[in-house]
Amino acid sequence: MTARKLRLGVNIDHAATVRNARGGHHPDPVRTAQLAIAAGADGITAHLREDRRHIRDDDIRRLKRELTRPLNFEMAATREMEAIALEVVPHACCLVPEKREERTTEGGLDVVRGAQDLTGLTRRLKGAGIRVSLFIEPDPAAIDASVRIGADIVELHTGRYCELALENDHAGVAREVARIAAAASLAHQKGLEVHAGHGLTFATVSAVARMPEMVELNIGHFLIGEAIFSGLDGAVREMRRLMDEARSDAGVGGGSA
């Protein structure tokens, strides 16, 4: 396989979480995104949830207007979000499952049972020139369904891997890394662009970054938290460095796209 650059997408949802804790405008997620880009982010991700718990409608519009890098709009597969996506026309939409009571996106989309609805939505978004990504579990059935739905991209959920790493479950980590690697390889073979994300940290990013089929990693909560200690610039630069180092060690190319 030819050397492939790995993109870093920074998810800025939790700058908005901190802002919303007190109302008002500080810290501004758009300024957060601009700083992340200056530090080496290749793109910005923001999730407009139905309950608007962090990112708000106006943030999405400002991000699209003011950013110099692609906006990845994370959204549930609902009519409301579809209308916003078609109005804003982000670079990409990442379709995710959404439950009101969850603290974060807990699992991948049920692309097998939800295929019918997702196929129509994917067609309409693509028709507007938006790239469509499906956030899925790293499973062969989910990859096959994503191909049938017509997605451009699959984003593989790394949450389980990162949880096992926090529990120091080494056998579990090895099993989960192998599952993600196999899914990345299969998705690539089937013509899908491969992204990954959820729960990634300085400690867990390398094992995913070294997978040759990976094109983009989307990382949020850890970077915003780490910014308290080392600043956002330092946190993003260190993540970028670890990603590049992992790729260079694996001989699959580093640097941003």
198 in catalytic set: yes
Closer CB to ligand PXP, residue 16 or residue 67?
A: 16
| Given 6, 8, 10, 11, the residue binding ligand PXP (CB under 6 A) | 11
47 in catalytic set: yes
How far is the C-alpha of 15 from the C-alpha of 232, rounded, in Å? 11
- Only one of the segments 57-65, 213-221, 231-239, 248-256 lies at the binding site for ligand PXP (rule: CB under 6 A); that segment is 213-221
Task: Decide if 40 contacts 256 (C-beta within 8 A).
Answer: yes
Residue 73 binding ligand PXP, by CB under 6 A:
no
Task: Decide if 134 contacts 114 (C-beta within 8 A).
Answer: no
Task: Decide if 60 contacts 48 (C-beta within 8 A).
Answer: yes
Residue 155 binding ligand PXP, by CB under 6 A:
yes
Q: 29: which 2 tokens?
A: 């997620």
Residue 218 binding ligand PXP, by CB under 6 A:
yes
How far is the C-alpha of 233 from the C-alpha of 45, rounded, in Å? 17
74 in catalytic set: yes
Within positions 186 to 205, which residues make up the interface with ligand PXP, using CB under 6 A?
Answer: 197-200
To ligand PXP, the closest distance from the beta carbon of 74 in angstroms equals 6
Helix, strand, coil distribution of the chain in percent, nearest 5: 50, 15, 35
Window 100-139: contact mask with ligand PXP (x via CB under 6 A): ----xx-----------------------------x----
- Helix intervals (H) in the chain: 13-22, 29-38, 57-66, 79-88, 115-127, 140-149, 159-166, 170-189, 205-209, 221-250
Residue 219 binding ligand PXP, by CB under 6 A:
yes
By rule CB under 6 A, what count of residues binds ligand PXP? 19
Task: Decide if 136 contacts 143 (C-beta within 8 A).
Answer: yes
Which residues of the chain form contacts with ligand PXP (CB under 6 A)? 11, 13, 47, 74, 94, 96, 104-105, 135, 155, 197-200, 218-222
Q: Hey, which residues are catalytic here?
A: 47, 74, 198
